[in-house]
């Protein structure tokens, strides 16, 4: 068989069902022949996003896969891979490489050189006989430790070279291995947690990948401790739970702000504690317990008092057992934390209700978000934002349901990423109502890939906030805009959606928002990719945006 046929068989053994791709690469044909369905995108970085969204919803079981040609294909995919790397997504990338005789010759693009900084593991398959060992190492990197993209470059001549078919029979799927923390480390941290007056649990996406939501809920209820999630960890803790503070990122709700501000002990679980523009800083001097599966994050941006290395699910179970042992000799007092959270949230909502229920025209994006929340059960949906204003408008208000009902992303945040994630999420969980919120600038980056959803029978809903400008850049581009109208954008995106074969509507009346969302949902349930274009105002007010220095 050819080398690419061997790769396809190995992927099949590893449970791969879909291959997002853009030609030309023989990996597409090899995958299709063995029953792995190719999803052909219009733009490579969207194709990477499809694999990314699939991997997130599946918790990497199996990972997403994207294949592309050498040169332009590998070059165009870079932005999507950078996003997956920064957010820690298990994604297998299979670029062709230039034939071996052209390797390393200027100006040929080298994936090996160019992608080294945005992959967890990268390797060139430089001999057909090494295909089993190379792919085993790739899947081992995908399944163990901190998640991240893994790349295997396949030189074009190696891809079509013959290899003994029997060699594939020696391949065995890689097993997942995880580790507990040092028990004494957990016991010491548990004592500090129980001695705290105002503890807060800070949960990241490691809880999602470890499938540890139930354990997190159990620990929070045992301690009566409030829980906030990171942007990437949103939905790791159900946000309608009485102890939920919602998500903290560059924006946040009032309860999250108040409780993190007054916390004396913070337990970080499955989080990297990375300082970046889309994270919520931990203000002041607090006792920090940091439990992560990657030691690179310990003491990276914060001085950690109790460092703990281990799998989030196993570590949470260790904390539960340790806290139960310690609590058996302590008196318990009645907690009012849930009531305090509810009061802070309601006070905050009351302040925002004029925008959330506004009848103004053009429509405020907050009205669209509020109507969506009132009419869609978060446990029946998977929702994601895009970059810029839609992310900052949606994150504080939307209350996610159970695990992976929201895809939070953005440490590296290219406009348009949400569309690919949305398609991948729908492939991973076809029964969910899968929706991405994006602005007109983001749609302008990747809008033609809405046709990929139509053509590939992926019935997603894309909601476009169209205010015909880059409102978030108002202050940054004031002078140039006055001289040259540099913030102005334009387009009738519902017309474009219909032209590409999807169901689409343009909505200008705020009183029609709820009904339009229902019509769009009906369209997706009938198997159609749907696009809702809301004509919105230039909203630039956000909830507690970057409240901490």
Residues 387 and 459 both lie in one domain: yes
Domain that holds residue 311: 183-332
Residues 24 and 80 both lie in one domain: yes
Does 155 map to a domain?
A: yes
**What are the tokens at 478?**
């004031």
Residue 283 confidence (pLDDT): 86
The structure tokens 């839609």 sit at: 390
Does 305 map to a domain?
A: yes
Q: How far apart are CA 487 and CA 469, in angstroms?
A: 5
90 CB-near residues (< 8 Å, 6+ apart): 55, 60, 63, 64, 142, 143, 147, 148, 149, 150
512 CB-near residues (< 8 Å, 6+ apart): none
Give, for all 549 residues of the chain, the pLDDT tens digit. 999 999 999 999 999 999 999 999 999 999 999 999 999 999 999 999 999 999 999 999 999 999 999 999 999 999 999 999 999 999 999 999 999 888 888 898 999 999 999 999 999 999 999 999 999 999 999 999 999 999 999 999 999 999 999 989 999 999 999 999 999 999 999 999 999 999 999 999 999 999 999 999 999 999 999 999 999 999 999 999 999 999 999 999 999 999 999 999 999 999 999 998 888 889 889 999 999 999 999 999 999 999 999 999 999 999 999 999 999 988 877 889 999 999 999 999 999 999 999 999 999 999 999 999 999 999 999 999 999 899 999 999 999 999 999 999 988 889 999 999 999 999 999 999 999 999 999 999 999 999 999 999 999 999 999 998 888 888 889 999 999 999 999 899 999 999 999 999 999 999 999 999 999 999 999 999 999 999 999 998 999 986 544
CATH number at residue 479: 3.40.50.970
Q: How far apart are CA 549 and CA 530, in angstroms?
A: 40
Does 97 map to a domain?
A: yes
Residues 288 and 408 both lie in one domain: no
Residues 367 and 502 both lie in one domain: yes
Does 544 map to a domain?
A: no
Residue 326 confidence (pLDDT): 96
Residues 134 and 93 both lie in one domain: yes
Residue 334 confidence (pLDDT): 82
Please check whether residue 150 is in contact with residue 141, taking contact to mean a CB–CB distance below 8 angstroms: yes
Residue 105 confidence (pLDDT): 86
Residues 189 and 136 both lie in one domain: no
Q: How far apart are CA 232 and CA 248, in angstroms?
A: 10
Does 548 map to a domain?
A: no
CATH number at residue 293: 3.40.50.1220
Please check whether residue 418 is in contact with residue 464, taking contact to mean a CB–CB distance below 8 angstroms: no
Residues 390 and 522 both lie in one domain: yes
Residue 549 confidence (pLDDT): 40
**What are the tokens at 272?**
């990297």
56 CB-near residues (< 8 Å, 6+ apart): 89, 208, 404, 407, 421, 424, 425, 428
Classify the C-alpha dihedral 426-406-202-439 as positive or negative: positive
Beta bridge partners of 67: 21, 94
Query: First vs last Cα of the chain: how many Å apart?
Result: 59
Count: domains in the chain? 3
Residues 212 and 142 both lie in one domain: no
The radius of gyration of the chain's CA atoms, rounded to the nearest angstrom, is 24
According to DSSP, residue 166 is labeled G
Residues 478 and 531 both lie in one domain: yes
Does 222 map to a domain?
A: yes
């Amino acid at each position: 068989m050819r080398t690419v046929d061997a790769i396809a068989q190995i992927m099949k053994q590893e449970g791969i069902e879909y291959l997002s791709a853009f030609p030309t690469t023989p990996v597409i044909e090899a995958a299709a022949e063995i029953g792995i369905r190719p999803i052909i995108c219009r733009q490579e970085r969207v194709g990477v996003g499809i694999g990314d969204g699939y991997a997130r919803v599946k918790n990497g079981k199996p990972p997403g896969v994207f294949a592309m040609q050498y040169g332009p294909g590998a070059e165009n995919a870079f932005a999507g891979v950078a996003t997956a790397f920064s957010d820690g997504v298990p994604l297998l990338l299979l670029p062709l490489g230039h034939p071996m005789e052209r390797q390393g010759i200027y100006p040929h693009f080298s994936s090996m050189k160019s992608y080294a900084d945005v992959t967890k593991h990268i390797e060139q398959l430089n001999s057909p006989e090494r295909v089993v060992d190379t792919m085993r190492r790739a899947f081992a990197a995908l399944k163990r430790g901190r998640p991240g993209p893994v790349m295997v470059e396949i030189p074009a001549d190696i891809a079509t070279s013959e290899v003994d078919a029997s060699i594939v029979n020696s391949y065995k799927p890689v097993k997942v291995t995880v580790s507990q923390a040092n028990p004494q480390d957990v016991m010491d941290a548990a004592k500090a947690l129980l001695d705290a007056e105002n503890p807060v649990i800070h949960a990241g996406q490691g809880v999602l990948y470890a499938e540890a939501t139930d354990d997190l809920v159990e620990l929070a209820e045992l301690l009566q401790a409030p829980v906030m999630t990171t942007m990437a960890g949103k939905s790791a803790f159900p946000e309608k739970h009485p102890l939920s503070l919602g998500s903290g990122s560059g924006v946040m709700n009032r309860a999250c702000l108040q409780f993190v501000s007054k916390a004396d002990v913070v337990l970080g679980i499955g989080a990297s504690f990375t300082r970046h523009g889309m994270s919520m800083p931990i203000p002041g001097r607090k006792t920090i317990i940091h439990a992560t599966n990657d030691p690179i994050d310990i003491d990276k941006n914060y001085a950690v008092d109790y460092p703990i290395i281990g799998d989030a699910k196993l570590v949470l179970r260790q904390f539960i057992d340790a806290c139960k042992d310690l609590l058996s000799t302590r008196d318990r007092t009645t907690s009012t934390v849930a009531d305090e959270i509810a009061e802070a949230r309601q006070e905050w909502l009351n302040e925002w209700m004029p925008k959330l229920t506004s009848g103004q025209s053009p429509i405020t994006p907050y009205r669209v978000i509020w109507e969506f929340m009132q009419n869609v059960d978060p446990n029946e949906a998977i929702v994601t934002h895009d970059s810029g204003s839609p992310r900052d408008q949606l994150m504080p208000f939307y209350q996610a349901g159970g695990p992976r009902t929201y895809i939070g992303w953005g440490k590296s945040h290219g406009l348009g990423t949400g569309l690919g994630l949305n398609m991948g999420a729908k492939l991973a969980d076809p029964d969910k109502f899968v929706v991405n919120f994006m602005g007109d600038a983001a749609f302008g980056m990747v809008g033609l890939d809405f046709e990929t959803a139509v053509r590939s029978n992926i019935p997603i809903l894309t909601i476009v906030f169209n205010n015909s400008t880059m409102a978030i850049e108002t202050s940054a581009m004031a002078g140039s805009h006055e001289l040259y109208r540099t913030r102005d954008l334009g387009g009738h995106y519902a017309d474009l959606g219909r032209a590409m074969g999807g169901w689409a509507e343009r909505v200008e009346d705020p009183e029609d928002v709820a009904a339009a969302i229902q019509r769009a949902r009906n369209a997706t349930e009938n198997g159609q990719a749907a696009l809702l274009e809301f004509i919105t105002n230039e909203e630039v007010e956000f909830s507690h945006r970057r409240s901490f220095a």
